[in-house]
Structure formats: structure tokens, C-alpha cells
Structure 1
Amino acid sequence: MDPVSTEHPQRERRGLLIVLSSPSGAGKSTIARKLLEADPQVSMSVSVTTRPQRPGEADHVDYHFVDQAEFDRMKESGEFVEWATVFGYCYGTPKSPVKHALKQGSDILFDIDWQGARQLEPDFGEHLVTIFLLPPSMQELERRLRSRGTDTADVVAERMRRAAEEISHWAEYEYVLVNDDMDECLARVRAIVAAERSKRTGQPGLVSFVRDLIGPAH
């Protein structure tokens, strides 16, 4: 008799939608980038946005850049799984690649806020893993924003105002981490993802695997 493959359950693993949220400056982009570098099973969700393309950004890689009319058309035709307006620009997640990834048992990382996370819950709740990153203090958050050197004082003030609003939704997330040490925070995010992948309910292939393992009598 052929040996039972230990990879069998993994081929049927349920895909995860990993939402990583934080106020601007709390380290979300760095943690997301390092998670993608460290874990080939995770890919980044590419959002559609009306925001102008910045130097160094590639269309269809960093974002799908569209004008307001095209964004409104996509929204009205139901092509987004979630969308939100942030600092005057619209952002939305295309539905088709999300459904395709889940069908393949792949994991997708979302860089979205509480509004987007809330919109994903009704249709994708069983796949959803929500993580919120808190700064060690509001003073440290403001220092990080100012140290970027890319925003005016007014923009920094607006980001700080918005940060307080975003942080007020922390209790809506399953996991909440204080990002006072980037390496430690990344390790904890990776541990969360590993634990979610190991949940019994996320491994439908285990049913037939265990049946083959112990035999039909049990």
C-alpha cells in the first residue's frame, strides 16, 4: 500500500485574508514588506486607487491607478470586495483576484483600515484574520511621521488626528500588537499566521487524511 502523503492536507488548506491595519507611521508598511519577503505563501492585495502615482511606483504592481469615473464605475458594478475614502482619495480591493486566490488556497495580505476590514467580514469572515498595530506612544508616532520629511506640518497634524480615530477601532480586531520593536512585532505576526493556518477548520483535507491514517473502522 502506498504511504499516506503528509502534504495532502496542505493542498486543501483554506486560504486566509490577512488584514494588517495601523495608523500611518506605526510600521504597517515595513511589517507587511518583511512578511512578504519571509513568507512565499503570502501575496499582497493590489488595490485600485484614485490617488496620483508617486515616483517609483508601478501601475498594476503597487496599485491599479484609475480616475474617479472609472473607480465609480467599478464600485457601482460590484467589482470591489471593500472600498474606502482616505485623505480625499478612493481605494478599493478588486473582487476577482481575491476569489481566485482563495480558490487556490493562497493567502492574501491587505493593507486596509477598519472600514475595509468591516466590509470583508460578511462575505469572507471564515477566511479573515485581522491584526492591528499600535504605536508605543502618540509622541513616538508623531516623531516617526515628522522624521519622514515628506509631509508638511499641517499634513502631520491631520495624520495624527486621523491616527486617534483609527486607534479607537482597535477592539474590532482579533489580534492587537504594540509595535515597539519591529523584529519582535514581525515574529508575532508570523506566529499568528502560522497558528491560523494550523486551525482544524482551515484544513478540510484533514478529514480524508485522518481517515486514511487510522482506517475506516474508526
Structure 2
Amino acid sequence: TTTIRQFTSSSSIKGSSSLGGGSSRTSCRLSGGLGAGSCRLGSAGGLGSALGSNSYSSCYSFGSGSSYGGGFGAVDGLLAGGEKATMQNLNDRLASYLDKVRALEEANTELEVKIRDWYQKQAPGPARDYSHYYQTIEDLKNKILTASVDNANILLQIDNARLAADDFRTKFETEQALRVSVEADTNGLRRVLDELTLSRADLEMQIENL
């Protein structure tokens, strides 16, 4: 004899945002017949899926009568005695799971809002039109070029003036040395003139005595 007790509960939570939406589904079932318990949790999709995501959870528990042996029949007796507590436990676990899913969905929504705000702040602003500055920039470039040419000419003139000053300095030093030499010659000739003057006076006195 096989006894089947079934508890099924399903719930879904859906959320969507700029990065995609998602939904979750949970189902738990108890049935007798194999005397063993199995639980499977599967999910597909993610927080950032653009097509949405689904998660599905189902739990099965099987029990058997005496036709499968005394060991298997004990499971059915356990469920018969504590069926209410088992259902309450499953309901509590399901509620906890749904609360966690809801909290994750809320956190995901907040995160997506923050990401969207960040991208909006980091996005480049509209391109500004600088075409009305082009003529002014061209005029300034021409002025800079003209000033550069004038500056080069002034530097060339400074170099030429420096070379001319060096040439004049050399000539001045040469003329100064020549002047010193001429002054020395003049002083020597002046002494000779003095000597000749004395000789002339002496000769004139001798002529008068004759």
C-alpha cells in the first residue's frame, strides 16, 4: 500500500530595471511511494540578463507502505505523525527563501540605479561649438608669427651691433696704443728741441764775443 501526501506552494517575484528583469519560482512537494527524499534547486539567468531570469526550486519527499519493507513504511508513519510540523517547517523555509529573494531583488534594483547614475555622470557632455573662435585663433597665430620674425630681426641686429662694438673696441685700443707711442716720440723730440735751443744760444754768444 502506498500513501501519497502532497504539498505544493509556488510564488514568483519579478523585477525589472535598465539592466534587465528577473523572476523566481519556488515549489515544494511531498509524496509517498519511494521512501526517500530528494531536493533540487535550479536557476537560469542572472542579475544583468536583458531577457529576464527564472529560478525554480522543487523539493520532493517520498514515503512507502509496508509493501517496500518496514524501513520504508516507517517514513510514512513519521509523516503521518508530524505532517503538520513538517508542513509548517516547509512553509517557514519557503517564506525565508522568498524574503531572501525579495531582498536580493531590492539590492539588485538599488545597484542598477547606482550604476545608471554613475554612467550618466561619467558620460561626456554635449560637444561645444568653437567655430566662432577659429578666426580669432588664426589672427593670434599670425600675430605670433609676425612677432617671432620681428624678434629674430632684433636678435640679428643685436648680434651685428655686438660685432661692430667689438670692431670699434679693437680700433680704439689700436689708436690708443698709437697715441701713447706718438706722445713718447713727441716728448723725445721736445728734449731734442731744448738741447738745440741751448746749443743755438751758446753759438750766438760765441758769435757776439767774436
TM-score range, shorter chain: under 0.3
TM-score between the two structures when normalised by the length of structure 1: 0.26
Which one has a larger percent helix, Structure 1 or Structure 2?
2
Bigger RCO of structures 1 and 2 (CA < 8 A, at least 6 apart): 1
Instruction: Work out which of the two has the higher radius of gyration on C-alpha atoms and give 1 or 2.
Output: 2
TM-score between the two structures when normalised by the length of structure 2: 0.27
